[in-house]
Amino acid sequence: MREYDPAELRALQLCELEILRDFIAVCERNDIQYFGVAGTGIGALRHGGFIPWDDDIDVCVLYRDYPRLMRLIEEEFPDKYEVVNAEKYRDCPILNTHIVMKGTRFVEPGFGKLDFPQGVFLDVFPLFTVPADEKKRRRQSSKAWFYGKLLILRHMAFPRLPFKGAKAKLAHCVTAAAHVFVSVFWTHKRLYNKIMRICTKHEGEKTGVNEWFFDTKKHAGVYTDEVIFPLRKIRFEDVDMCFPNKLEQRLTEVFGDYMKLPPPEKRHNHCPDELVLPEGFGADEGREAV
Domain map of the chain by residue range? 6-276
Q: How far apart are CA 250 and CA 227, in angstroms?
A: 7
Q: What is the mean pLDDT of residues 104-128?
A: 95
CB 199 within 8 A of CB 145: no
User: What does pTM read for this prediction?
Assistant: 0.92
Phi (first) and psi of residue 99, to 5 degrees: -90, 105
Q: What is the pLDDT of residue 162?
A: 67
177-186 pLDDT tens trace: 888 989 999 9
Q: What is the pLDDT of residue 286?
A: 38
192, β-bridge pairs: none
Distance in angstroms between the alpha carbons of the first and the last residue of the chain: 20
Flag whether pLDDT at 95 surpasses 60: yes
Q: What is the mean pLDDT of residues 189-198?
A: 97
245-273 pLDDT tens trace: 999 999 999 999 999 999 998 898 999 99
Q: What's the helix, strand, coil split of the chain in %, to 5? A: 40, 15, 45
Beta strand pairing status for 209-211 and 121-129? antiparallel
154-178 pLDDT tens trace: 998 887 776 677 887 888 888 888 8
pLDDT above 70 as % of the chain: 96
